[in-house]
Structure 1
Amino acid sequence: MRRLLLILAGVTAAAAAALLSWAEAVHWRTSRQALGDSGVPGGREAVVVLGYRNTGTRANFVNRHRVRAGLRSQDPAASESVLVLCGGAVGGDVPEAELMARYARERGYTGPIRLDTQSRTTAENIRFAVPLVEDADTIKIVSHAPHAVVGREYLWAVRPDLAARLVRGDDHRVGEAPILTVAAAIIAWQHQARRGRA
């Protein structure tokens, strides 16, 4: 019986490791997709953080993670860097963007913030962010990497001139938030499967 339990534990651990490795590969790959080639390093930068459904009056775990990724994505060599936070009141009374802005300030961020407080979907995140990033020389879209690439693809569809300025954000770090990494990869896989059937 003890040997059987050890075998089951080993199989479970191997399956979990394989799942995490697959998810990390998905994040690594998607963090490098749908980028532009016209960004101007050292110029004006906009870091767009896509919100996640938030039911409370404080930023939830997912939105806090995304804000931290957005803050570390800011280039210290940029002449100006603005944080663009996207998300309406989808799950609660307070827009996701406002909750994320509050959390960014709590983290000590004192730089400029622009808010989209109306959007309810990823497509709307991008559409409403467009007027907030038009003056940027480089644009970073930050979320979980498989979600961020969806945002970049939307920008390519609606404003290819702005999408040409897309550069990579720092939203994928190996080993960070493994549960979120796996969940985001599975959601991305399901999204791709649905698109394939359409």
Structure 2
Amino acid sequence: MSPRLRRGLLGAAAVLLLGYASIHAMVWRHALARLAAPPQRPADAALILGNRAYKDGRPNPCLTGRVDAGLALAKAGTVRQLVFSGGVDSEDGRIEAEVMEQHARGAGYTGALLLEPVSQSTRENLSMSRAVLQAAGVRSVVIVTEPYHLWRAERLAHATGFDRLFDVQFAAAPSACWQQWGMAFKGALREPLAIVNNAANGYLH
């Protein structure tokens, strides 16, 4: 490899690394801001976005943590019902929405609950939940997900027109995926790649 080509490759790698680091920092700054600013207005429903259903043979704490955040909103009287969105998990064949329902009921939740059991991505969580929410007469929604996932979820909500159909707020779930360094590190490293992928496909604008 010639010195000129080597310098070019190193320069390109440096640009990519800088871009990745910039997105990573933006995601984490936004996450911290959302954690410090929980929803302030009552809403008709909390929409909990799906995630991998099981990890190491047990319910994935990244998923159950989101449900717990929704349960806290319901217990505080901020939302009147819960909506779980997530289809078949490719890794274990379980339906994410059903796993979330089982966790909520197991935690003692007896309130109103709706399922959207088909979606396979954040974009589909939002688009496929619209009909479920509208059929239930929902007009205001708190979208619940991991802190580092919120930046993308917010922009997808706008890009898909979700925030024009409903009065939308967002809630960061302070789950084990945020509190345990290994999980947070993995999730936050993956999120910039998901942002780039969504942007490249024209989903973010």
TM-aligned CA distance change 1:86 to 1:195, over 3 Å:
closer
Identity among equivalent positions (%) equals 21
**Aligned counterpart in structure 1 of residue 192 of structure 2, from 189, 192, 195:** 189
> What per-residue deviation string (whole Å, max 9, x for no partner) do you get for residues 91-131 of structure 1?
23331100110011111111111001111111111111112
CA RMSD between the two structures: 3.4
Say whether the 8 Å CA contact 1:31–1:148 is kept in structure 2: no
- CA–CA distance in structure 2, aligned partners of residues 178 and 191 of structure 1: 20
The offset of 1:30, in angstroms, is: 5.8
TM-aligned CA distance change 1:94 to 1:193, over 3 Å:
closer
Say whether the 8 Å CA contact 1:85–1:116 is kept in structure 2: yes
Q: In the alignment, is residue 86 of structure 1 matched against residue 85 of structure 2?
A: yes
Give the total of aligned pairs: 170
The offset of 1:32, in angstroms, is: 8.2
Deviates more, 1:183-192 or 1:108-117: 183-192
| Partner in structure 1 of residue 119 of structure 2 | 119
TM-aligned CA distance change 1:194 to 1:124, over 3 Å:
closer
- CA–CA distance in structure 2, aligned partners of residues 167 and 148 of structure 1: 11
TM-score of the two chains, using structure 2 as the length reference:
0.66
Q: In the alignment, is residue 25 of structure 1 matched against residue 29 of structure 2?
A: yes
The offset of 1:70, in angstroms, is: 1.9
TM-score of the two chains, using structure 1 as the length reference:
0.68
| Partner in structure 1 of residue 52 of structure 2 | 53
Deviates more, 1:120-129 or 1:44-53: 44-53
The offset of 1:67, in angstroms, is: 1.1
> What per-residue deviation string (whole Å, max 9, x for no partner) do you get for residues 156-194 of structure 1?
22224235x111324248x73333333222222333455
TM-aligned CA distance change 1:71 to 1:141, over 3 Å:
same
The offset of 1:150, in angstroms, is: 2.3
Say whether the 8 Å CA contact 2:146–2:172 is kept in structure 1: no
**Aligned counterpart in structure 1 of residue 151 of structure 2, from 128, 149, 152:** 149
- CA–CA distance in structure 2, aligned partners of residues 197 and 119 of structure 1: 20
Q: In the alignment, is residue 162 of structure 1 matched against residue 165 of structure 2?
A: yes
Query: Relative contact order, CA 8 A, sep 6+: which one is greater?
Result: 1
SS in structure 2 at match of 1:166? strand
The AA in structure 1 aligned to 2:183 is L
Which structure 2 residues correspond to residues 29-108 of structure 1 after superposition, within 5 A? 29=33, 41-42=41-42, 44-54=43-53, 59-74=59-74, 76-78=76-78, 81-91=80-90, 92-108=92-108
